[in-house]
Structure 1
Amino acid sequence: MPQPQKSEEFVRTTLNPGALEADLRYQVEGEVRFDTASRALYATDASNYRQIPIGVVVPKSVAAVVKTLEICRRHGAPIVSRGGGTGLCGQTCNLAVVIDHSKYLNRILELDQKNRYARVEPGVILDHLRDQAENYHLTFGPDPATHNYNTFGGMIGNNSCGIHSVMAGRTVDNILELDVVTYDGIRMKVGPTNEEELQAIINEGGRRGEIYRGMRDIRDRYGDLIRSRYPKIPRRVSGYNLDDLLPENGFHVARALVGTEGTCVTVLEAKIRLIHSPPARSILLLGYPDIFAAGDHIPDILAFEPVGLEGLDDLLIKLARKKGLHTHDLALLPEGNGWLLAEFGGDSKEESNQKARRAMDELKKVKNPPSMKLFTDEREEKKIWEIRESGLGATANVPGMTLSWPGWEDAAVDPARIGNYLREFRKLLDDHRLAASLYGHFGDGCIHCRISFDVFSHEGIRNYMAFIHKASDLVVKYGGSFSAEHGDGQSKAIFLGKMYGDELVEAFRQFKTLWDPEWKMNPGKVIDPYLPDQNLRLGTGYNPWQPLTHFQFPRDEGSFPRATLRCVGVGKCRRTHDAFMCPSFLATREEKHTTRGRAHLLFEMFRGDFIKDGWRSREVLEALEFCLSCKACKSDCPVNVDMATYKAEFLSHYYRRRLRPLPAYSMGLIGIWGRIGARMPGMANFLSHAPFLRTITKALGGIAQERTMPRFADETFTDWYRRTRKQPGKGRPVVIYPDLFNDCFFPEILKAALEVLEHYGCSVRILPAPPTVRPPIDYGMLDHAKREILKAVELLSPYVRQGMPVIFLEPSSAAVFRDELPELMPQHQDGQRLTQLTFLFSEFMEREQFAPPKLSGKAVFHGHCHQKAVLRIDDARQMLKKMELEVQEPQPGCCGMAGSFGFEKGKYEISMKIAEAALLPSIRKAGLPAYIVADGFSCRMQIMGGAGRKALHTAELLQLALKREKGARS
């Protein structure tokens, strides 16, 4: 019986999970989680596979990892190590105890500039090290597209590569030493071993000596076969690195363990090689008639020694355009239907430019030269790399197209043979009626593609299996490797015999057995694997519950369960710096607080065979508790997962016929209480600010005692307008939507907007005290929210039917009509008109090309999350730039307040942790001369409460500039 089935049978019939959990909780320094939610969170990764783990351990120390292994062995429980959980071949999900190294074991232990090495724990994120190393113009060469959130443990497990492997090689080529532990508790440091050292270790005997003796025997028995059968290409990643045991390669045990995908040892620490990082880079883009012609040209480009050489085809660009990704940046591409992106490095910009120009000069001489475009501006270079790195996002979940999946996404051949290989590969795709964009690390011969496999039906899965069998034959024909950086896992491992022959597969089996005699380390992956169509996340058994919903999910075939399939598990929401999403993960480092984690739990809820409570699921509710509804995921996630919408929909059903938490009534219904308070501002302010009374008021409303409540203005803007204005002036007719927050608390902002618009010749209409639409959505009060939205649409219908722009001062309110309204009522004609005519103040200013007045000085600008995610933040930036202000944007993501989130009891601490990441320190550092600019009500409250500074709305900033300009003229 194959090993995975044996392991599975033991776990299901013999293992006592309760006793295992008790022992782990009692003895391990860390977090032990055997609850349903945690197991569901770790059931899948970025692959097609799903296996519910036994439990999860998040160790706080290296000693805790060793103790976890000891206890698991005593109980006979398999284990699987996990970093960022971005595996594409199923290697980080298993019926095992998952050890998550990423939360605590993430220290850079040493960075030796002189000797060019670093020591890292397995949970260190690659970019954390690279950012430090760049201070010395050093870097860790391999850099996958996931470089800003993947971990070294995962890179070592998969033998990852990346864009700059042309310059630096694979992960295995950059590993100096590993500190590892075996399933039976043997801890050792491994690295290169000369013959004297090897003999000494063997002579010592014991378990370590037994392992080394076995490896020596494998080397001696299979050495010639290894030399003859291993593909001689830059990206041979499939299989085990037995070639590193050869004498000519230094019997390098650490490198032999790289790429074993957790099937042999658990890595506790790595000593890694750092290389020179050319501080200056220049990009040369080359356009060809098609991607095949681009592939033919790879050897010619490699002759100029680029530090990176990438390829991308016309389908990738078409899909990016269809999804609205980098639409402005795509114009940077030179003429063609296939492109090569060659990056040149130098110690100065002159040197890197010179290398690129030399390549251009030589390429002009060839027959049928490519179109060429040299980029020397760093901003444009960054945009070009973003186009390339958007490959997964562009090719997954394209509207109107079949879903695409991994399964044959990173095969590699000799770079000199790419053109012909791609021609045959394209024909194979066509023969199986499959579509895929072709892109990747062409300089190393690695081709990436997500393919339109049908993983739902019996026939589709048969076609998938037939295709990958033929694809493996094609790779072998070209002397290539099935995997070039993602590993084998269970999706490609069954084909290793084709590539290496049965004898070397037996050598792999012996190597694994040496390290893991009990076959408990990630069983069923790489060696004696599950079949590619086993453990499918979807498959023919996938039949999700399809409930009626408030949101119509028009981009997802009208189905909430279908919307949860948007998440492909790539894990961009796990970024920890320079990140828009996910703010709660930035504060907690918890998988359940990522967009991915929440989407996976919703997927499990609709699947219904593990999380079985449907809309009553506590697991989903707890995961959504710290979702700030910031909408960052809708724009920042490569596949546009919209967790704010999913949360609102879930809460609407979870609390149906149930009492809600207090904040839902105090702040979700602020549209009611706010208008009442605005009629008697003195009494309202007394209740919310007087000593003792404010404590009671906050307690009754479920509001954090640390928060200061906003004060009601003495007179609302709408009352002031009715009192002072009889009719609109002449000019371009527009409507201002006086949202409750500005109308009742900050009427000076609406007055400023009115003054500025009239200055530019607009005839302004004011909607009298319109409905408050955002808060009830955030609390899932969707019946109430829809009624309020319909009231607003009815009030605005006479204006939008005349094509009159509706101007909002509050981004969260504008986002409702631009984003939620089409999702809730996609067929509503006046609603469609309103969506098209909804503008933020800054958007309208830019649309009309009103030239703003100049204002000297510095400004700290913080955009509202909805402004960044679903509106047009660039218009506000452009306006500030035209004002000639020196602008700083300290925090790419949320301020932490997120509407009423930061006001809620129990959420103050996480709210402030998010704000203190960058925003509040930058404001304190900026000092009094700088203008603080924020259009969002909640953002201004967070800034006032956390930094003691009053932030200006852009309308107020323009009003101030106009007054100064007028004063200067007079």
Structure 2
Amino acid sequence: MTTASMKPEQDNREVVDALKRAGLEVRADAGTRGMYASDASLYRVPPLAVVRPRHVDEVAATLAVARQTGLPLTSRGAGTSTAGNAVGPGIVLDFSRHLNRVLAVDPEARTAVVEPGVVHAVLQRAAIAHGVRFGPDPSTHARCTIGGMIGNNACGSRSLAYGRTSDNVAGLELLTAAGDRLTTGYTTGRAATGKPTWSGADAVIENVRNVMATHLATARTELDRFGRQVSGYAAQYLLPERFDLTRALVGSEGTLGVITQATVNLIVDTPVRMMVVLGFPDIVAAGEAAPAVVAHRPTSCEGLDSRLLDVLRARRGTAATPSLPMGRAWLFVEVAGEDQDEVFARAQALARSGIADDAAVVTDPATQARLWRVREDGAGLAGRSPADSPAWPGWEDAAVPPERLGAYLARFDELVASHTMTSVPYGHFADGCVHVRLDFPLNRPDGTTVLREFLTDAARLVGEFGGSLSGEHGDGRARSELLPYMYSADAISLFAGVKHAFDPTNLLNPGVLVDPDPVDANIRLSGTFPLSRLAMAYPHDDGDLGQAVHRCSGVGKCRADNSAAGGVMCPSYLASREEKDSTRGRARVLQEVVRGELPWSHPSVRDAMDLCLSCKGCASDCPTGIDMATYKSEVLHQTYRRRLRPRSHYTLGRLPFWARLAGRTPRLANAAVRLPVIGRLLLWLAGVDKRRSVPAFARRPFHRTFTPARHGSQTDLKPVVLFADSFSDAFSPEVAEATVRVLHAAGYEPRLASRPVCCGLTWITTGQLDTARKILRRTVGTLAADARARVPIIGIEPSCIAVLRSDIHELLPDHPDGAIVAGAVTTLAEFLTSTPGWSPPDLTGVEVIAQPHCHHHAVLGWRTDADLLAKTGATVRTLAGCCGLAGNFGVELGHYEVSVAVAEQNLLPALDAAPDAVVLADGFSCRTQVADLRDRPSVHLAQLLDR
């Protein structure tokens, strides 16, 4: 079954009814099927239904329905497969929603019992609490599931020390396609010393033995030739002298059984880690050097190309790029051990060994973490090719014997160039495993033909080097058809026999490994087309929303707890744990829109976008550069253009207009909102949740009280323009007043623009983009003369500054003064730190909790503010994550619970833990959330510096 069309929902009714009668949690709406149609691969195969089992009996019940209806069944964890292992045309079993627990940790036996949907990082936290950990650590460790790792036999960057997943599984419980329960393990619980055992599914075992009896020579000679040969089935473990079902089933990609529980081995981690970075003239030299590095007994040896660093600099600026030794390629080597001096000596010996042209030993854990993050984000960063085109998986993790890696890399670069493409190679070089994304021309009519031709040539090249099409991610839909280029016909026949022994009706994950679908079938990018009459310019995607939303490659970083790592993305997912509330889930739904499968106004599109806070966290935290806030504005614009809008769009979405009107009679406006009956009615009419308190309008708006003379006027003061945004003007004039005093003390004379200005933020977030464009054009026209005269424009509200620095390019791409104004606008921290002779006040002894505004984090960057605060001497705790209010989002009806749940992730616990600390929040939304949920004052940076 290779078709990837979206069947009408009524066609699924019989299947859905059967699943519901079995008491299962079923999702079969168009949005869910669109979200689960793709993983992190090139493929799009919409399922008929998604089941989220709550216990093992529900897995068995789902299998029973699959057998009755003849529908195939695909197991899925986090959906981060790059080979298309986690998509299927029938029923998809999502283990990540409910069957995601660590059931037991035994530190004495060094084992843990887990459900298949448990996230790797969750297992690690549970194990580390007992002084042990799970060995394999793939770069997706913050979101990948143990079940998915078992399915693909994942390895990770420290496989030199800890091996593959198959080396770390002590036993499995699974259901066969026929519904039989099969349990595997070892007599002592550990593969290294125990004898393999199993129970159940006796007929299956007998059939497997019969298959192996006819292919003994092939299994003994063609399989298990080097460490990263994971393509095909691990049938070497089914040989009579080894018969080890646990290891044979690891890496079978969900085609032989449905795993319901696993017992994994744990290790005691080495306490001392140091990093050695080795620089080389090119990636070939780095590959050639990797075997020599292994002689120094590292736990990890990862290769990176300068092409990856170039993408990082383009995405995040040079400040985000760690300092590296000289070269155009590097090996990141980790040396670990028990003794600090011994480990340091080994690191020094490696650095001085002459293996590399330049080297550096990194002992600081924070710097090590920054370097490893570059490697972890490799798949996302490589989503943009050196030619600045979209780059895709497809030839993601081929491996060759390590001693042949350098020669393979040279030939591979030649092969890529011969197909007129570019690539960014990186990977586990000590193991001979190379990750790469390629800019396949999938937007061309012959794009899939080019894909097939390249994959075929690449498979031949790997076969020539005695390598494996897959080194850790599995064959999936991307490489299964190509297995004959590395295996004989008898080996292919062996794989087919093993599959038939376990799954004679081809029920489990069909199209993968045996009887595979063509590598160029069901490509998700085929059929996309540029939408006309778009409101945003999408300058980084050639004006094509299709290209923009397909930036999401499915790596799933939005499903991780990014706030724990200092990020923002994706606050609503952290609150709900629903795929539709992740950046990836929303992108997948929008991919259905650009394909023409769903209209803008479809309920699934509305549901996916509803809980997006427009925080822009993904714009900086997603390694592929997704900007869901911009896409949401486009969706709202297209959905409600020339139509009746939600009432909050007319009130909260036009707040600056109403605020200026209320500013004429602020006491009357405040009194009306606080009247018991009238106030509740006004809130309901405005679309505001009644549990929200409404910030009071200032008695005197800032623009009506400000005159330069009031703050003193000296002829030697330099002029600056103060961008008095609507929030500071109407609600927080004290912030604007403090900003003026701080600027004046720094030697500057602030003045307001020649007429009132607004960035149009509230119109943008509610999708009223025609009006937003007019407002922004008027503002640019007002500020242009000062910007051209190089007069700095100082902003107060981070979200408004972000509009003038970022959204201005989306809404006014052709305005002659747009870029000039964007370049003149600056934050207070940026301006002050660049002012010669200025120094911050001494705040020694002051405890500060800093809640950066999301747009500040994502668009402007918080580093300058952090450095400034450090110079004050204050004790500062900078919070990660979103406050949860996010402009109009947390105020609107239907969003209160999610808004509070987001605040409970980081903000509220920090406030409760430090009741006497000064709360620093530049964003008006953040200050409002703090006041609303904890009745606590907070200050802007200007007020903190004005103390």
TM-score band, normalised by shorter chain? over 0.9
The structure 2 residue matched to 1:697, chosen from 658, 682, 690, is: 682
Q: Is the 8 A contact 2:102 2:113 kept in 1?
A: yes
Counterpart position of 2:284:
292
Instruction: Give the 3 Å change call, closer, same or farther, for CA 201–169 of structure 1 in structure 2.
Output: closer
**CA deviation digits over 1:389-427, x for unaligned, max 9?**
232233223586332221212111111221112122222
Counterpart position of 2:208:
215
The structure 1 residue matched to 2:578, chosen from 560, 572, 590, is: 590
Write the distance in 2 (CA, Å) between the matches of 1:353 and 1:680. 70
Counterpart position of 1:963:
none
The structure 1 residue matched to 2:630, chosen from 630, 645, 649, is: 645
Give, as a single letter, the amino acid of the residue that structure 2 aligns with 1:417.
R
**CA deviation digits over 1:891-915, x for unaligned, max 9?**
x221110011100111000000010
Instruction: Give the 3 Å change call, closer, same or farther, for CA 353–726 of structure 1 in structure 2.
Output: closer
Counterpart position of 1:896:
884
What's the secondary structure of 1:679's corresponding residue? Answer: coil
Counterpart position of 2:103:
109
**Is 1:278 aligned with 2:270?**
yes
**CA deviation digits over 1:815-862, x for unaligned, max 9?**
111011111112212222110011111221222253101102221111
CA drift of 1:690 comes to 3.1
Question: 391-400 or 622-631: which moved more?
Answer: 391-400
What's the secondary structure of 1:90's corresponding residue? Answer: coil
Give, as a single letter, the amino acid of the residue that structure 2 aligns with 1:81.
S
Q: How does 1:956-967 map to 2 (within 5 A)?
A: 956-960=943-947
CA drift of 1:317 comes to 2.4
The structure 2 residue matched to 1:603, chosen from 591, 608, 611, is: 591
What's the secondary structure of 1:888's corresponding residue? Answer: strand
What's the secondary structure of 2:182's corresponding residue? Answer: strand
Write the distance in 1 (CA, Å) between the matches of 2:644 and 2:339. 65
Write the distance in 1 (CA, Å) between the matches of 2:483 and 2:394. 15
**Is 1:861 aligned with 2:850?**
yes
Q: Is the 8 A contact 1:671 1:772 kept in 2?
A: no
Counterpart position of 1:742:
728
**CA deviation digits over 1:463-482, x for unaligned, max 9?**
33232222222222222111
What's the secondary structure of 1:384's corresponding residue? Answer: helix
What's the secondary structure of 1:616's corresponding residue? Answer: coil
Q: Is the 8 A contact 1:728 1:764 kept in 2?
A: no
What's the secondary structure of 1:940's corresponding residue? Answer: helix
Counterpart position of 1:237:
230
Counterpart position of 1:19:
14
Give, as a single letter, the amino acid of the residue that structure 1 aligns with 2:914.
A
Instruction: Give the 3 Å change call, closer, same or farther, for CA 955–226 of structure 1 in structure 2.
Output: same
**Is 1:226 aligned with 2:219?**
yes
What's the secondary structure of 1:743's corresponding residue? Answer: helix
Q: Is the 8 A contact 2:398 2:471 kept in 1?
A: yes
Counterpart position of 2:644:
659
**Is 1:54 aligned with 2:57?**
no
Percent sequence identity over aligned pairs: 38
Instruction: Give the 3 Å change call, closer, same or farther, for CA 331–155 of structure 1 in structure 2.
Output: closer
CA drift of 1:173 comes to 1.0
CA drift of 1:371 comes to 0.8
Write the distance in 2 (CA, Å) between the matches of 1:412 and 1:122. 27
Write the distance in 1 (CA, Å) between the matches of 2:801 and 2:444. 42
CA drift of 1:698 comes to 1.2
Write the distance in 2 (CA, Å) between the matches of 1:182 and 1:437. 40
Counterpart position of 1:561:
546
Instruction: Give the 3 Å change call, closer, same or farther, for CA 569–60 of structure 1 in structure 2.
Output: same
Counterpart position of 2:435:
448
The structure 2 residue matched to 1:806, chosen from 790, 793, 801, is: 793
**Is 1:45 aligned with 2:39?**
yes
Q: Is the 8 A contact 1:231 1:480 kept in 2?
A: no
The structure 1 residue matched to 2:332, chosen from 327, 330, 341, is: 341
Instruction: Give the 3 Å change call, closer, same or farther, for CA 217–667 of structure 1 in structure 2.
Output: same
Counterpart position of 1:404:
391
What's the secondary structure of 2:395's corresponding residue? Answer: coil
Q: How does 1:380-399 map to 2 (within 5 A)?
A: 380-398=367-385
Instruction: Give the 3 Å change call, closer, same or farther, for CA 824–61 of structure 1 in structure 2.
Output: same
CA drift of 1:10 comes to 15
Q: How does 1:790-805 map to 2 (within 5 A)?
A: 790-805=777-792
Q: How does 1:347-386 map to 2 (within 5 A)?
A: 347-361=338-352, 363-364=353-354, 369-386=356-373
Question: 731-740 or 21-30: which moved more?
Answer: 21-30
Instruction: Give the 3 Å change call, closer, same or farther, for CA 193–477 of structure 1 in structure 2.
Output: farther
The alignment's C-alpha RMSD in Å is: 2.3
Q: Is the 8 A contact 1:159 1:171 kept in 2?
A: yes
The size of the alignment, in residue pairs, is 934
Q: Is the 8 A contact 2:4 2:44 kept in 1?
A: no
Give, as a single letter, the amino acid of the residue that structure 1 aligns with 2:733.
P
CA drift of 1:769 comes to 4.1
Give, as a single letter, the amino acid of the residue that structure 2 aligns with 1:481.
S
Counterpart position of 1:913:
901
Counterpart position of 1:171:
165
**Is 1:66 aligned with 2:66?**
no
CA drift of 1:645 comes to 0.8
Q: Is the 8 A contact 2:380 2:555 kept in 1?
A: no
CA drift of 1:664 comes to 0.9
Q: Is the 8 A contact 2:708 2:751 kept in 1?
A: no
Counterpart position of 1:308:
300
**Is 1:732 aligned with 2:727?**
no
**CA deviation digits over 1:216-249, x for unaligned, max 9?**
3334443332121114211111111112223554
**CA deviation digits over 1:761-793, x for unaligned, max 9?**
001112354335211100001111112112212
Q: How does 1:423-438 map to 2 (within 5 A)?
A: 423-438=410-425
Write the distance in 2 (CA, Å) between the matches of 1:954 and 1:565. 38
Write the distance in 1 (CA, Å) between the matches of 2:197 and 2:573. 48
The structure 1 residue matched to 2:76, chosen from 66, 77, 82, is: 82
What's the secondary structure of 1:28's corresponding residue? Answer: coil
Counterpart position of 2:191:
none
Q: Is the 8 A contact 1:415 1:445 kept in 2?
A: yes
Q: Is the 8 A contact 1:201 1:212 kept in 2?
A: no
Write the distance in 1 (CA, Å) between the matches of 2:196 and 2:419. 54
**Is 1:505 aligned with 2:492?**
yes
Counterpart position of 2:155:
161
Runs of 5+ consecutive residues of structure 1 not aligned to the other structure: 961-970
Q: How does 1:769-788 map to 2 (within 5 A)?
A: 769-771=756-758, 773-788=760-775
**Is 1:255 aligned with 2:247?**
yes
Question: 759-768 or 647-656: which moved more?
Answer: 759-768
What's the secondary structure of 2:296's corresponding residue? Answer: coil
Q: Is the 8 A contact 2:742 2:946 kept in 1?
A: yes
Q: How does 1:408-557 map to 2 (within 5 A)?
A: 408-457=395-444, 459-539=446-526, 542-557=527-542
Write the distance in 2 (CA, Å) between the matches of 1:410 and 1:9. 25
Write the distance in 1 (CA, Å) between the matches of 2:252 and 2:148. 11
The structure 2 residue matched to 1:870, chosen from 859, 876, 885, is: 859
CA drift of 1:9 comes to 12
Normalised to the residue count of structure 2, the TM-score between the two structures is 0.95
The structure 1 residue matched to 2:740, chosen from 747, 751, 754, is: 754
Write the distance in 2 (CA, Å) between the matches of 1:10 and 1:841. 52
Instruction: Give the 3 Å change call, closer, same or farther, for CA 462–544 of structure 1 in structure 2.
Output: closer
Normalised to the residue count of structure 1, the TM-score between the two structures is 0.93
Q: Is the 8 A contact 1:812 1:866 kept in 2?
A: yes
CA drift of 1:748 comes to 0.9
Q: Is the 8 A contact 1:29 1:61 kept in 2?
A: no
What's the secondary structure of 1:570's corresponding residue? Answer: coil
CA drift of 1:459 comes to 4.1
**CA deviation digits over 1:108-136, x for unaligned, max 9?**
11111121111111111111111332334
Q: Is the 8 A contact 1:96 1:522 kept in 2?
A: no
